[in-house]
Structure 1
Amino acid sequence: MARPASRRTVLGAAIAAAATAGTLSSAAGPAAAASCAAADCETAPRARRSGTFVDNRFWSSYTDWRCGERAGTTAVAGRRPGVAIATPAGTTDYTDPHTGATSRWEYATWTSPVHRPSVPATEVIASWNAQTPAGTWIQVELHGEYSDGSATPWFVMGRWAAGDKDIRRTSVDDQGDGRASIWTDTFSVDDAASGLRLAAYRLRLTLYRRPGTRLTPTVWRLGAMASDVPDRFGVTPSAPGLARELPVPRYSQNTHVGQYPEYDNGGEAWCSPTSSQMIIEYWGRKPSAGDLAWVNPDFDDPQVCHAARHTFDYQYEGCGNWPFNAAYAATYRDMSAVVTRLSSLTDLETLVAAGIPAITSQSFLKEELTGAGYGTSGHLMTVIGFTADGDVIANDPASPSNEAVRRVYQRAEWEKIWLRTKRYNASGKVVSGTGGVCYLYWPAFPTSAQRKALAAVGVL
């Protein structure tokens, strides 16, 4: 996802204050409770995967949801454990900065145990899987401890609902403490060269519902990817190890140019939701005819329009919020999704071998990726396989038609533009790269081979 500053709208002081007031009040109310044995709640670092700069921690089991601190929430057992509202901890007013409307909400909270990543981090990206019926929404926050022992404030990582009738899903700009900042969906240490790192963190989940109802959001997965990827303009190419291609549907973002200006106008702005929709449909899920009834019947592939609407971040003013795409994918029946970083194409080969495609983020000049025919400051595409020579087979939505979406890119070129953290733009200026970011979507009840592959790349 590209993050140009011009795409960020600064909240007015009055609106920001109102929104913050709503957030802060959710920390009040009855004393928080924790009901599981301390030994069941992870507080120590996990083993670090050899050669990686990434730590993933996701809470998703019944034991997980019984850990941490709860104020008005309860762990929900069953086929897919989660956390939901039991008895609200209180009420709060929230002024939506994108509509100006103020509404009252009941809320309850769940706060994770402290997690000490095996990789003291320069960046952290949270992601979640949840169901938010009409009349409900959720907020995810992060609180951390720096390597020098000082603490961060509570940072908002996202305010999210699957729909857009109750609130406008949004990231929150202008968050920082002089040492780190939130860039749309990413916690980032301001000066990594200083040696400062995030040594530990907690996530706080606030569940909201209309007062007087029995509605509740249900969250099945919550966690974060913490990383400290070193500055690099390139990487040593990995050796090819797999020849396989997955039958992923093909959709072009460019067939939607000019559609729905309110969701960033289609075309090049829709690479992320178009990629998400391809992978969702690979897993046999898709929106119903009723879900698509709002789309202009003259538009092809209305499910891509649907994905754009339901990933749109009203603060970022685009569809490229990484966690919002993962959350959208997980609204489909029995789907799991996370945002993470991988270390090499070998990791992607491990996943593809188990039948799991991936959505990757990269930026490059036109001449850096043979056959692309374009350059980009931030673009999402799907990796669906590898040729016998080890080259990358990608469904690249930046194509003129659905038929043209399948591309083959040279392995070394592709791996470099995906994994680097620094690059030169067209003006010769040093700018950032995404360092291996990807979205992974898979069935909530994976096969043993899929589970093994996800564990091998550090997600399960």
Structure 2
Amino acid sequence: MTSSAPRRTVLAAALAAAAGVAAPSAQAADASRSPAAGAAAPARTPDAPARRPKSLVDYHAWTTTADWARGRGRGTAPAPGARPGIRLAHPTGTFDYRDPHTGRSATWEYATWTSPVHRLAVPATEVVASWSAHTPPGTWIAVELRGTYTDGGRTPWYVMGRWTAGDGDADIRRTSVDGQKDGKSSVSTDTFAIDTPASGLRLTSYELRVTLYRRPGGGVTPTVWRLGAMGSDLPDRFEVPASTPGLVGRELTVPRYSQEIHKGQYPEYDNGGEAWCSPTSSQMIIEYWGRRPTRQQLSWVNPDYADPQVCHAARYTFDYQYDGCGNWPFNAAYAATYRDLQSLVTRLSSLTDAERLIHAGIPVITSQSFLKTELDGAGYGTAGHLMTIVGFTKDGDVIANDPASPDDAAVRRVYRRRQFENIWLRTKRKNAEGKVVGGSGGVCYLYFPAKPAPTQHRVLADLGIR
């Protein structure tokens, strides 16, 4: 259903083999519903949660004026306006870049900002960076990560993405960078990973560097409003503990779009609509927040195509190296190109976290992989697929907008809580051939306003997001 999973599946399978992971005796998740029909929800509010167990996920970001002041700027300055950020003020050098996807060479002037070292609350086996930025035509940014291992060694500066919002003649092509490794860790498209977690090696800290580029002598500049990363050390698990339904019985009014109606459209972007689960999910949530492309922005789309904004999202999330629309941070960055939206990639620990976000009015885009028999009502199996949690029934089951539906009207689905939670949160599974492959471990995209409502702010803060 999406092309975002195979390279992650290959990586996870390699890690599983290195770690000597064995399959459990019972692979399939419990298919029964967790709560009894009509069970009463526990009396608690989204901003007064029950005690949370120690998290195995550490999301950290730099977003405030004070945050930017703590970093090391070389040619950057505070961006004017109500939203704190940084911009290119005084170039500190030039960089000759030959775009591997267009063959064009150009000289760019640049400035850099480097974060303080962030010590991870949980030493990590994986790190995913994400950002919110504005890149006018003729500008772009590069996000890099450098970390320290538990053995005292350091990684090289890994490129986590070269990104721009556009794809015009003045722009580079947004791209991940293959082939990055140092014998201890490597980067697979958008994810830094320790090569052999079973060795005990972990990443204890990291710093992020963002380089802002523009044409020499140009007056325009990129602006970066959010720069962050999610580090995690999840145990190998084929099954996860079941959560108890709490804040249930609410459904958000989220637009419903099918990726399947776009089959064959613009095959240059990830073979057409059948692989567009990630941008289709992103577009649903962007429009939930009241944003959408203008008529002029959509003028390139064939007027005979329904939901042209989905085609637009696919084009502008496309990673030219990965050759697909499933790059997690690129989807988040696309969402943040819309007015006063911010976005990030993280992991959640259970459906309880998702319940609190839904109760506060924030939908959750989730990444999962499963066999056809593991998710009743889906009607398909997938090596990786993005869909959106938009609510919970009174029984605690998941209401999802699933873009892998034959048409827009069929997008709303209700999936059994226990099944959905397991296929989303597990890190290991068996595929149809019986081979051990990876799961996303609870990866999600969160898109929300630059100035969240107080309840939204409290829920996000409790999940380590500010």
**Normalising by the residue count of structure 2, what TM-score does the alignment of the two structures yield?**
0.89
Letter in 1 for 2:167: D
Match of 1:299 in 2: 305
| Paired residue total | 421
Match of 1:198 in 2: 203
* CA distance in structure 1 between the partners assigned to 2:258 and 2:130 by the alignment: 26
Match of 1:377 in 2: 383
* Aligned positions of 1:33-432 closer than 5 A: 50-165=53-168, 166-241=171-246, 242-432=248-438
Is there any run of 5+ residues in structure 1 with no aligned partner, and where? Answer: 9-47
* CA distance in structure 2 between the partners assigned to 1:105 and 1:173 by the alignment: 22
Question: Structure 1 residue 215: deviation in Å?
Answer: 1.0
The question of whether the paired residues in 2 share the 8 Å contact of 1:171 and 1:316 is answered with yes
Question: Structure 1 residue 265: deviation in Å?
Answer: 2.5
* CA distance in structure 2 between the partners assigned to 1:424 and 1:51 by the alignment: 28
* CA distance in structure 1 between the partners assigned to 2:156 and 2:286 by the alignment: 36
Question: Structure 1 residue 52: deviation in Å?
Answer: 1.6
The question of whether the paired residues in 1 share the 8 Å contact of 2:9 and 2:383 is answered with no
Structure 1 pair 316/227, CA: closer, same or farther in 2 (3 Å)? same
Question: Structure 1 residue 366: deviation in Å?
Answer: 0.2
Question: Structure 1 residue 214: deviation in Å?
Answer: 1.3
Per-residue CA deviations over 1:190-246 (Å, capped at 9, x if unaligned) read 011111000010000000001111110000000100000111001111011111000
Match of 2:440 in 1: 434
Higher relative contact order (CA 8 A, sep 6+): 2
Question: Structure 1 residue 68: deviation in Å?
Answer: 1.4
* CA distance in structure 1 between the partners assigned to 2:302 and 2:167 by the alignment: 18
The question of whether the paired residues in 2 share the 8 Å contact of 1:123 and 1:186 is answered with yes
* CA distance in structure 1 between the partners assigned to 2:371 and 2:132 by the alignment: 34
The question of whether the paired residues in 2 share the 8 Å contact of 1:7 and 1:317 is answered with no
Letter in 2 for 1:394: A
Structure 1 pair 5/326, CA: closer, same or farther in 2 (3 Å)? closer
After superposing on structure 2, the runs of 4+ consecutive aligned residues of structure 1 that deviate more than 6 Å are: 5-8
Structure 1 pair 7/169, CA: closer, same or farther in 2 (3 Å)? farther
The question of whether the paired residues in 2 share the 8 Å contact of 1:7 and 1:316 is answered with no
% identical equivalent positions? 69
SS of equivalent to 2:380: coil
Question: Structure 1 residue 49: deviation in Å?
Answer: 6.3
SS of equivalent to 1:262: coil
Question: Structure 1 residue 66: deviation in Å?
Answer: 1.2
* CA distance in structure 2 between the partners assigned to 1:6 and 1:100 by the alignment: 30
The question of whether the paired residues in 1 share the 8 Å contact of 2:10 and 2:437 is answered with no
The question of whether the paired residues in 2 share the 8 Å contact of 1:311 and 1:328 is answered with yes
* CA distance in structure 2 between the partners assigned to 1:93 and 1:7 by the alignment: 33
The question of whether the paired residues in 2 share the 8 Å contact of 1:270 and 1:308 is answered with yes
Question: Structure 1 residue 71: deviation in Å?
Answer: 0.9
Question: Is 1:453 aligned with 2:459?
Answer: yes
Question: Structure 1 residue 268: deviation in Å?
Answer: 2.7
Per-residue CA deviations over 1:405-438 (Å, capped at 9, x if unaligned) read 0000000000000000000000000000000000
SS of equivalent to 1:159: strand
Question: Structure 1 residue 7: deviation in Å?
Answer: 11
Is there any run of 5+ residues in structure 2 with no aligned partner, and where? Answer: 12-50
Question: Structure 1 residue 50: deviation in Å?
Answer: 2.9
Question: Structure 1 residue 3: deviation in Å?
Answer: 3.2
Per-residue CA deviations over 1:259-309 (Å, capped at 9, x if unaligned) read 001111223310000000000000000000000000011110000000000
SS of equivalent to 2:121: coil
* CA distance in structure 2 between the partners assigned to 1:7 and 1:75 by the alignment: 41
